[in-house]
């Protein structure tokens, strides 16, 4: 399986900076981020990593659809700009995955 969905939960670094780093007690793959030198478990469902409620996240998606700037979203949802970039990445990633699976299904 390609590592394209893996990103560092600590500094949001992408695949190129991440290497496999053994397994944890639950036999889950651990990864090491070369950027911030921290290890983490990649969760295949990124939404679990979100530190905000589903309600806030839906509002965030609404702002994105309205093409609201990151600064305005940050102020409205009281989230720091780094988190906003991180959530935006997750949304774009999810959209990309959906498009990939559509192509694979021949439509
Ligand atoms: Zn990192």
For residues 57 and 38, state if they share a domain.
Answer: no
The 10s digit of each residue's pLDDT in 81-95 is: 888 888 888 888 888
State the first-to-last Cα distance of the chain, in angstroms, to the nearest integer: 23
For residues 94 and 58, state if they share a domain.
Answer: yes
Q: How far is the CA of 20 from the centre of ligand 1 (A)?
A: 13
Q: Which domain holds residue 87?
A: 46-104
Contact 71, 44 (CB under 8 A): no
**36, pLDDT greater than 70:** yes
**2, pLDDT greater than 50:** no
- In the block, tokens 């070369």 appear at 34
Q: Give the total number of structural domains in the chain.
A: 2
Q: How far is the CA of 56 from the centre of ligand 1 (A)?
A: 25
Q: How far is the CA of 14 from the centre of ligand 1 (A)?
A: 8
For residues 51 and 76, state if they share a domain.
Answer: yes
The CA distance from 58 to 55, in Å, is 5
Q: How far is the CA of 105 from the centre of ligand 1 (A)?
A: 34
Give the confidence band of 58 by pLDDT, cuts at 50, 70, 90.
confident
The 10s digit of each residue's pLDDT in 8-33 is: 777 776 777 888 999 888 888 888 98
| Residue where a domain terminates, one of 44, 63, 78 | 44
- What pTM did the predictor assign? 0.47
For residues 40 and 50, state if they share a domain.
Answer: no
Q: How far is the CA of 107 from the centre of ligand 1 (A)?
A: 36
């Amino acid at each position: 399986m390609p590592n394209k969905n893996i990103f560092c939960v600590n500094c949001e670094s992408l695949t190129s900076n991440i290497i496999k780093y053994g397994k944890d007690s639950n036999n889950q793959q651990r990864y090491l981020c070369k950027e911030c030198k921290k290890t983490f478990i990649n969760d295949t469902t990124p939404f679990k990593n979100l530190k905000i409620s589903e309600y806030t996240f839906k509002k965030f998606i609404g702002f994105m659809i309205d093409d609201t700037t990151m600064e305005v979203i940050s102020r409205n949802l009281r989230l720091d700009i780094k988190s906003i970039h991180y959530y935006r990445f997750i949304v774009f990633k999810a959209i990309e995955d959906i498009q990939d699976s559509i192509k694979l299904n021949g439509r």
